[in-house]
Amino acid sequence: MRIDCHNHTVFSADGKQTVEELVKCAKARGVKYIAITEHMDLGFPNDARPADEPLFDYLVTQKYFDEIARVRKIYPDIEIVAGVEAGFTAGDEERISAALAAFPFEYVINSVHICHGLDCYWAGYFDGYTKETAYNEYLDCVRASLDAPYDYDAVGHLGYIGRASDFADRRLTYSEFADKSDDILSEIIRRNKILEVNSSVGKSDLNGALTIPDLSLLRRYRELGGRLINFGSDSHRTERFNHNYKEVTSALKELGFDEFTVKRNGKFETESID
Ligand SMILES: [Zn+2]
Ligand SMILES: [Zn+2]
């Protein structure tokens, strides 16, 4: 089954596509299962953001669920999951828990965007940092996020920090950060969470990396016994929806993965990768 488990619409501050445009695009491309995962970054440092960054309000209300229900009726042959991407920030766990409990989210991605009070996506994030320091700190934030007191299904875009850094090799690879990576991957396995395979890094970006996590991390995850993965394009506009699906799935098959794990009616189910 062709899937895409990470997408943003206009219910996210930086989303450009409507729910209906996204689902129409899924139908056209033969994607049968999509999760919509709007941003919920309650600890977002809006006051510190660069001038060209949008205000990161949390926009999900009942209207989000109503709109998905409306579009489901138009496209009954496509599974549409009403999810959320919960940005983890230490100290905000209670607020995040309350916000997650306020609506019936069907799928929750646990993502780290913010460390030391700034978004890793901002250029200024790296001022005064070596790659080793910055990436180790990021991995510590990810490790802390795994202990979040609220329930979540998947760990989003492990390696996000590489998307905007300017180091010679921006990838977060297994060999460079083996100990912390092992700790994180083992904990994901122990907790029975999905490790998201995010294709929002194109081949021309991130020193040729196809995905975050880097394929070296996915290889190690599998060696450690990890089997729960899915695919997410992290699209914010239809042009990027299901980006590089064929390249990513063939790389996953080469690593030995043959199944995706999807959330359906509150439970994990597997679908063959195709
Ligand atoms: Zn994200
Ligand atoms: Zn996202």
| CATH number of domain containing 224 | 3.20.20.140
Percent of the chain with pLDDT over 70: 99
Is the pLDDT at 202 greater than 60, yes or no? no
- Cα 11 to averaged position of ligand 1 atoms, centre (Å): 14
Strand intervals (E) in 128-218: 154-155, 194-198
Quickly state the pLDDT bin for 92 (edges 50, 70, 90). Answer: very high
Q: Is 195 exposed, middle or buried (0-12, 13-18, 19+ CB in 10 A)?
A: buried
- Cα 113 to averaged position of ligand 2 atoms, centre (Å): 10
For the segment 129-133, the average pLDDT, to the nearest whole number, is 95
What is the average pLDDT score of the chain?
95
The confidence score (pLDDT) of residue 123 equals 77
CA–CA distance, 49 with 54 (Å, rounded to integer): 8
Three-state SS at 107: strand
The confidence score (pLDDT) of residue 132 equals 97
CA–CA distance, 80 with 68 (Å, rounded to integer): 7
- Cα 8 to averaged position of ligand 2 atoms, centre (Å): 6
pLDDT (tens digit per residue) in 30-66? 999 999 999 999 999 999 998 888 889 999 999 999 9
- Ranges 57-66, 207-216, 228-237: which has the least confidence: 207-216
Q: Are 210 and 197 spatial neighbours (Cβ–Cβ below 8 Å)?
A: no
The confidence score (pLDDT) of residue 203 equals 47
- Cα 165 to averaged position of ligand 2 atoms, centre (Å): 18
Is the pLDDT at 25 greater than 80, yes or no? yes
- Determine the structural domain holding residue 57 and report its residue range: 3-272
Tell me, yes or no, if the pTM score tops 0.95.
yes
Number of structural domains found in the chain: 1
Is the pLDDT at 183 greater than 70, yes or no? yes
- Cα 237 to averaged position of ligand 2 atoms, centre (Å): 12
- Cα 10 to averaged position of ligand 2 atoms, centre (Å): 12
Q: Is 197 exposed, middle or buried (0-12, 13-18, 19+ CB in 10 A)?
A: buried
